[in-house]
Amino acid sequence: MMRQHGAGTGFSLPRYFSRPRPFWRTLLDAIVFAAALTLVVLILDRFEMIDVGTGNARAKDGDSLALNDTEVRLYGIDAPELNQTCGSSSGEYPCGHDARDALHNLLRGKTINCKSLETDRYGRAVSICWDGKLEINKEMVRQGWAVAYFRHATAYAKAQKEARAAKRGIWQGKFEMPENYRARHRPVGADMLGE
């Protein structure tokens, strides 16, 4: 014979099921849930990429370009400054101009699409750009005309290792990291120009 739960059976529900929950506890749980949800939304929004546009782009230097009317700074890479020189077995050469020319060649006659992760302090869209499936940022590092900007990202470490091993671009000889070059040539009291 089966015994039924109920009065006289010696079985009772635990106390937390039988007492109503205090209002303050329910309110606190709701506030914690809302705060956690807001934090998740903010984190996801931070990494959301915003479409900058599609069209013809013009290289300004080795790590920045103009796409339509938008100034774009290529995310995660750092190229020699426009006036920077580097060394090779045949002497000094204008690696800043060569880096700009390399970016120009990647952009010339192509339809470029850029997606921005953020805006830098100069108002530029910090972006990843593509020519179809070719990622321009990565290709600049792979060709050796930009370095992986580890202070901001590690995404291009493998491409840099490949360029360095093959002595491509600036890896063919001696060069100063662009960030260090900027710091040495920054006017007294000025911000980090060109970053």
Give the CATH fold of the 51-185 domain. Answer: OB fold (Dihydrolipoamide Acetyltransferase, E2P) (2.40.50)
In one-letter notation, the amino acid at residue 172 is Q
Residue 186 has what pLDDT?
A: 78
Model-wide pTM > 0.75: no
Residue 47 has what pLDDT?
A: 54
CA gap 110, 106 in Å, rounded: 8
Residue ranges of domains in the chain = 51-185
Q: Specify the 3-state DSSP secondary structure of 46.
A: helix
Cβ atoms of 163 and 84 closer than 8 Å = no
Nearest partner of 65 among 12, 116, 25, judged by Cα: 116
| Residue whose entry in the numeric block shows the structure tokens 């039988």 | 18
DSSP state of 84: -
Nearest partner of 129 among 73, 187, 90, 171, judged by Cα: 73
Cα–Cα separations (whole angstroms), residue 141 to 66, 124, 161, 180, 181: 19, 20, 9, 18, 18
Extract the tokens encoding 115.
């997606």
| Residue whose entry in the numeric block shows the structure tokens 């939304």 | 41
CA gap 156, 147 in Å, rounded: 8
Residue 44 has what pLDDT?
A: 43
Residue 31 has what pLDDT?
A: 81
Cβ atoms of 140 and 79 closer than 8 Å = yes
Residue 194 has what pLDDT?
A: 47
Residue 112 has what pLDDT?
A: 97
Residue 160 has what pLDDT?
A: 97
Tens digit of pLDDT per residue, the chain (195 long)?
454 555 555 655 555 555 677 777 777 777 877 666 655 545 444 457 899 999 999 999 999 999 999 999 999 999 999 999 999 989 999 999 999 999 999 999 999 999 999 999 999 999 999 999 999 999 999 999 999 999 888 999 999 999 999 999 999 999 999 999 999 987 765 554 445
